[in-house]
Each structure stands twice: as structure tokens, then as C-alpha cells.
Structure 1
Amino acid sequence: MSGIAERPPALNACGSAPHRAVLSLLAIALGRPAPSGLKQDLTQSRPEEIATIANNGHVQTVLHSAFLNSADLGSALPQDLLIYFAEMQRANAARNTAAREQMSQIANILSGHGIPVLALKGAADILDPLHPTPAHRYISDLDLLVPESRAQDAARFIRAAKGLVTDSSALHVGDHHHMAQIVHPDWPLTVELHLRPGSEAVCSVLTASQIFRDSQPSPVSGVRIPSLEDRFLHHILHGMELRHQTAALNLRLLADHICYLRRISDESQKQALTRLNRRGLADWQTDLGALAEALNGIPPEPGSWATQALVNFANPDASRHQDTRFWMRRYVQRLMGPPHQRRQLLRKALSPAAWAEFIQFHRDRRRKFK
């Protein structure tokens, strides 16, 4: 594909050449024609800026497809960067294959004890790919839902099978929606055993019993995946909960949403919107949808969430400060919230390990704004 199209008008709201270039490359990788002005944006961008923006948005595994779909774009970038994106996609394909094998091993461990396993989020995407090129989807860990009543048993069986500690701290079931991470050098990905699908916002729409009830088999024996509508909802709820208030654009979330809109039926989209609307969250779907449509050449309304997200994407410093203010408000709200939230915060405040995790979490978040 090498056609030149007009740059989607919405991209003009993004006032940074390298950020605009990455958005355009993402659109091309997902099947859009090359927007006019892209070569100029590429020549006005330093190669390391392109790589950094792609890496922070977890689409470094996607952009190689842009140069396959529009080969003439490669002349605007150094060969080393093209090789980098090609290698990222190749390596991720191998990593995802290893992740499937890892899920198969986990299912084999648990099936003998009658514990069902359901893959959530990126783990489900690996088993039933959304993207036209499955290697596009980069995931950082395996989110696996098990029945809450069997969660401790599941963690114990997996840890014992891999020779890991099975003491009380490793098997503690706290207020969080998943148990302590399981890490083993033989496995490419960290495992998070979920007791519940996610945060309170996620569980207000998706319950564990309902997801299990409506789930379907996957190509990996013993591992089920949610229905496509439930996956779509989980993607929106998890992706927008910490981004909607600050109008933050996440490239991987945007790429996945474009792929969902191509695959899910209009009826399922309407049903998902109805389910979100019952909790007052319908704008999470419509706003993310408007941002996805912007890359398809349909400009969002001036002053809309999607337009503001494009503006913010081009201004990492302002976005970083806005994110910090968001988290300060969130912690204050938790202190003023229900007793179980206050207890959780107070326990963490007395834990050196929790402080280390807190510092690392916010250090990593600040680094993501590039």
C-alpha cells in the first residue's frame, strides 16, 4: 500500500512533528493510506524521538508494518531504525508463541485440580488475535482469572510445580483484584492470578461469574477467553479508567480499539455502550471511538475529549504534570472513601515494600510521557 491521502484533519491538533509521525505510521500499519505531510514530519523528527514515542506507547512492535504497507516511507528514516522496528516485531512474535506455551503449562498444572483458567486482556489477544498481524500485540504480563474460592490453591499449585516459595506472603489474598505476581526464569512473562476481572470500575460492569459464564474455548486446551463483547468492554474499562479524566492518549490502547471496531459487530458495540451507560461510563467508549475514527480521517468535534487527547499527546511535560495532579486527587479521594480503601492505604503506608512499589510505579509513569 503506497497511496498518499490527506492527513486526517484531527492529527493537526497534535502540534509535535514526531508525535504526529508516530500516529500516522500507526494508522498506516493498521491499513490506512500514507497521510500527506508524513514525510515532512519524519524529516523534522529525530530518529530517537520516533523510537522513544513508539516504545513508551508499546507500539514498537507495530510500526514495522507501516514500512511494509508503504515501502517508500523508509527513505525518510535511517536504516538502523527500520531494522529496529522489524526486529521488535519478529522478537515479539516469538515471545507471544512462548506465552501461549506458558499458558498451556499453567492450564495443565491447574486442570488436574479442577481449577478453570480464563485469559484476560492481552493474554486473550494472544490466543485470539485482534490485529491483522498478531505480532503487533505486545503484552507485559499474563492476566489469568481463576475462581476466587480457588485462587490460593491455584497460586500454590503453580508455585510448587515451578519450585517457587509457597509461604503465606506469596499466597496472601488481600484487597487487590489479583494475587502476588508469579515470576519464573523459564517463563517469558510474569503471571497475575486474578480473583476478580479488575478494579471496582471494571467489576461494576464485568463480574467474574458473568465472564466465565459467557466465555468460550481458546486454541490452548484448558484456557478459556471472554466473549468478544466482554473483551471489548474490559479493554475500554481498563484502558480508560486512568486516562479519561486527563485526556491521555495511549498508542497501544488506540491501536487495539481500531482493531476492535473492525471486528466487533455494530449490535455488540451498542450492547457494550448500554452496559457502560448503566454505570455512567458510556463516554469512555464514545470518546475512545472518536479518537480511533480520527486516524481513519474523521475529525472529532473541536473541544472534544479526542481533540484534547491529541493536543496533550504533543505536550509531554504538561501531560506529566496533569497526571501527577490526577493521582494526588485519586489518593485524597481514597483517604476520604470507604473504610476498606482507607485500611488498604494505611497498610501500604506502613510497608517499606509498598513504598518502594509506589515510588517505582510513579517513576515509571513519569517516564512514559515523551
Structure 2
Amino acid sequence: MEKSSKAAATRSWFGQVEPMPGCSKCRPSITGEGVGTMNHAQIDEWLLNGLRASPGPAGGGGMTPLSEADWEELVQQSDRHRITPYLYHHLRTVHPDLPTPPDIVGKLRQGHLDNAARNLRLYGHLGKILQLLRDNGVPAIALKGAYLAEQVYAHRALRYLGDLDLLVRKDDLEKVDALLLGMGCRPTIPNRIVGPDNNEFVYEMPRRDLCVEIHWRILPPQFPFPIDTEGQWNRARPAVLAGVETLVFCPEDLLLHLCLHAGCTHGFEPGLRLFCDIREILRHHEADMDWGLVRRLIQEWGIGKSVYLTLKLAQELVGARVPGGFLEELRPGDFDERYVALAKDQVFARKVRTGQPLSMWPAVAQFWGATRLRDKVKLFWKGLFLPRESMARLYPVPADSWKMNFYYAVRLRDLLRTYGRDAWRWLRRDKDMQAVAQEGRDLTALKDWLMSSGPAAGSGEGVRAG
């Protein structure tokens, strides 16, 4: 396969780049059947009871017993949510009285051991990268999992690590690119160009099932929030990760980053892991979390809706300890409980998807959610004729080259390969594709609400600055 075709196979709808197949963010198809006729609500409730500090009002003994097939499904869902090590730890230390079959405990234990070995390898790679950047005078902030696993969770084996995420300054991107290429990392796109529609470059580690994501801001520019990246750098704290001195977000920035990551970037589809992260952050930083600063940043960035819905879900699902009165103060004036239901549908979705997940990229949900063929054609046209700068990131040709015209034909081929079959099924009013279209409409409504501004209840102006 030619380099351009190989890179093109990883592209999303509007030129945002999906990770290569080796990356943990690669997701399985847009459509698919459920996994059977089991009592999914009952299985999910067992899973949540295993994660909470208290197993619910009925207690472990009052819960409906699960069948053997249900227990197997619970283990599969635990793996899908990437919380198996954390669940195993909770069942052993917090809920030893929950009636869990020994063979299920054994499978969860094996998942815990496998993750411990995997994280040991990942921290070895992280240490090499952080040391390389440090030796070359490049400051970096370790984002999300790498810091959480080592500093926030009780043990680094309890938190599954996907990719290694680092925040660097935009002025250092060229140097970081050269350093990573020098150590054998392979970029997932041919041309790393900073544009008005991107916020990260992704590299594959050599001969490893691992990606390194280099960010220069925490959200893509498509999200209308004025995140103060320089302020995040100024508030960053020193920490030692993988034996190397580096920087991490202050607790307030970390909490807000995870809320935005869960609600906006992924549309709550990552499942329960991020809610467990939020609970652990609130537990670990219970004494030093500056809620006045949290309030001020929410107001300045206009992210009250995403933070409110994410914290509300974390509280309801896994028992995150949000300070009394904070959610009531933050509650948007136009909040509707249907947004909670839509978000929970994504958290616990069991569809097998073989393409781009709808919730990850708003444009895909918007395309399938459009009710008229004319609207779909307009969106397809917009996705086909990207700006030349965006095309240059996706294909091995400079933005000002005359050859770029030929790559629009390549892009048409790539889009048809990715979405053509599903589009044809939609035109034929396929039942599964009609369900996808409805999901697209629901997700678009949820995304639009999360990204809109609005007053908090009782204030008329939003969240008080503290």
C-alpha cells in the first residue's frame, strides 16, 4: 500500500485524524447488533455496585443473582470500560462480601495482573520520552492517565493506560517532532502542520502497540471554549513520573480537563473509566481542591454545562463526592433530564462499531442525524473539499502543490470506502442505519447543548466566581 493510501485509511470525516490500527483509540463500526438478550440493566447495576463505596440501598445480599452468562457479560463490560483492575481492587478491599463467583474473581484478578505488567512497560517508555524532552530543554505536562495512575490511584496497576498524552508549547513542536522521529516513532500523518482545526499530533512507538499524543492545547479548536492554555502552564505543578521530573496540571485544571474530555471530546462513550478518574481526583485532592478557582475557570471558559453533566454522572454512577451545593449552583437554567439519559446511553452502549464512533466526531453524528438527503450532500461536500492546509496534513503533498488537486480524488475514494456502504444502506432505509440516524440526531442535540452557553439556575448570569 502506498504511503498516502495507508495514511488515508485512518482519516475521519472533516480531516481530523484517527489513530493507526495499533493505537488504543482505534474503535471498532458505526453499526452493529447488540450482544444478546441478557438483563443488561441488571448487569450494569452490579458493575456500578462493585465500583461504589456502598453497594446500594439493598446491599450486596439484596441484589438479584446473576446467571453464569451474565457474569461473563459483566467481565466483558468491565474490560470494555477499561476498569477491570479497579473493579477487582474494589471487590477485594471495599466489597469482599459481594457474592462474586470464584472463577469471575479469578478472571478479574488476571486482568489486574495483565494491566500491571502492561503499565510497567508503558512507564518505561514514558520515562524515556520524558527524559529525552528534559535533556533537550523541552518542558512537558503529562496529561490524564500517566499522572493519574502513578499519583492519584492507590497503585499504578489500578488504572488502565491507553496512549501517552503530553502537552508541550506550540513553539516546541518542531523540536519534539525531530526528537520523536529520532527515537524511531512513526507519525500517523505525513505532514505535521499546525492549523485552525487541530490540537495534537500522534506518533506510534517503534514496534510497540502504543501511541504518543503530543498536544499543544487540550481541545480541538472546533469547540467554542476560550481555554486559557497559558494559564494552565502557569498553574502546572512539578511531579516525578516514571522516575523523571516533569509537570502535571494542578488539581483544578485536571478536573476540568477530564470533564471536557468525557463530555465534549468523547461524548461519554469511553464509559466508566473517566468517571472513576474523577472520583479518585476528588478523593485524592479533597483537602486541597480550590473550588473557588474551579468556579472562576468554569465561568471564564464557558464550560458549565459540560462540567455539570459530567460531575452529575460521576456522582450518580460511581459515587463521586462533589461538595454539597456545588451541582445545584452549577445547574444550567435550560437543563433537561433527557441529557442525562442520552449520556448514559453512550456510557453503557453495547453496539459493536467498526468505523468512527459517532460520539467522537460531531461531524459524523451531524451527517447521520441530518434528516434530508440535501443536508447530507452538503455535509459530504464540506467533508470532501477540505482546506488545502488540512489536506496537506492528511496526504503527502504540500498545500501549495498543483498535485493537491489529484488528492481530492483520493479523498473521495477514502470517504466512499469508509462511509459508502453505510450511506447506501441508509438510502435503502435499512433498519440498523435508521437507528444510527436517530442516534446521530440525539448525539447532535446533546453536543449542541454541551457547547452552548446559558445561565445557571437562580443566578441569571452563570456560575459565581466564588
Range class of TM-score, shorter chain: 0.7 to 0.9
What corresponds to 2:96 in structure 1?
71
What corresponds to 2:281 in structure 1?
260
Q: Which runs of 5+ in 1 are unaligned?
A: 1-13
What corresponds to 2:192 in structure 1?
172
Question: Could you report, residue by residue, the CA deviation over 1:181-217 in whole angstroms, capped at 9, with x for unpaired residues?
Answer: 13123x6632112232332267935444322222111
2: CA distance, partners of 1:225 / 1:353: 42
Name whichever of 46-55 and 255-264 sits farther off: 255-264
Choose 1 or 2 for highest CA Rg.
2
- Aligned to 1:80, which of 97, 103, 106? 103
Q: Are the equivalent residues in 1 in contact too, given 2:143–2:166 (CA < 8 A)? A: yes
What is the deviation of 1:101?
2.7
What corresponds to 2:261 in structure 1?
238
- Aligned to 2:85, which of 39, 61, 71? 61
What corresponds to 1:106 in structure 2?
129
Amino acid at match of 1:193: I
Output the aligned Cα RMSD: 4.3
- Aligned to 1:219, which of 235, 240, 243? 240
- Aligned to 1:306, which of 320, 334, 340? 340
Q: Are the equivalent residues in 1 in contact too, given 2:259–2:311 (CA < 8 A)? A: no
What is the deviation of 1:84?
1.8
What corresponds to 1:8 in structure 2?
none
What is the deviation of 1:70?
2.1
Amino acid at match of 2:192: H
Amino acid at match of 1:50: L
Name whichever of 200-209 and 88-97 sits farther off: 200-209
Q: Are the equivalent residues in 1 in contact too, given 2:359–2:365 (CA < 8 A)? A: no
What is the deviation of 1:141?
0.6
What is the deviation of 1:321?
10
> Secondary structure of the equivalent of 2:213?
strand
- Structure 1 length-normalised TM: 0.73
- Determine which structure has the larger helix proportion and give its number: 1
What corresponds to 2:170 in structure 1?
148
> Secondary structure of the equivalent of 2:200?
coil
Aligned residues: 336
Equivalence map 1:273-288=2 (5 Å)? 273-288=295-310
What is the deviation of 1:163?
3.9
* Compared CA separation, residues 346 and 188, structure 1 to 2 (3 A): closer
2: CA distance, partners of 1:356 / 1:231: 39
What corresponds to 1:197 in structure 2?
218
What corresponds to 2:50 in structure 1?
25
2: CA distance, partners of 1:172 / 1:235: 26
What corresponds to 2:325 in structure 1?
none
> Secondary structure of the equivalent of 1:224?
strand
Higher relative contact order by CA 8 Å / sep ≥ 6: 1 or 2? 2
- Aligned to 2:139, which of 110, 116, 121? 116
Q: Are the equivalent residues in 2 in contact too, given 1:127–1:219 (CA < 8 A)? A: no
- Structure 2 length-normalised TM: 0.60
2: CA distance, partners of 1:107 / 1:325: 30
Question: Could you report, residue by residue, the CA deviation over 1:97-130 in whole angstroms, capped at 9, with x for unpaired residues?
Answer: 333332221122222321112111212223422x
What is the deviation of 1:55?
1.6
1: CA distance, partners of 2:41 / 2:156: 29
Q: Are the equivalent residues in 1 in contact too, given 2:141–2:168 (CA < 8 A)? A: yes
- Aligned to 2:203, which of 156, 166, 181? 181
Q: Which runs of 5+ in 2 are unaligned?
A: 1-38, 322-327, 329-334, 368-375, 395-407, 423-435, 437-466
> Secondary structure of the equivalent of 1:258?
helix
What is the deviation of 1:64?
0.4
Q: Percent identity?
A: 18
Question: Could you report, residue by residue, the CA deviation over 1:108-160 in whole angstroms, capped at 9, with x for unpaired residues?
Answer: 2222321112111212223422x234322112110112221221221212321
> Secondary structure of the equivalent of 1:140?
coil
1: CA distance, partners of 2:357 / 2:125: 39
Q: Are the equivalent residues in 1 in contact too, given 2:358–2:365 (CA < 8 A)? A: no
Amino acid at match of 1:26: L
2: CA distance, partners of 1:273 / 1:309: 23
Q: Are the equivalent residues in 2 in contact too, given 1:18–1:42 (CA < 8 A)? A: no
1: CA distance, partners of 2:265 / 2:130: 31
Q: Are the equivalent residues in 1 in contact too, given 2:266–2:360 (CA < 8 A)? A: no
Q: Are the equivalent residues in 2 in contact too, given 1:254–1:292 (CA < 8 A)? A: yes
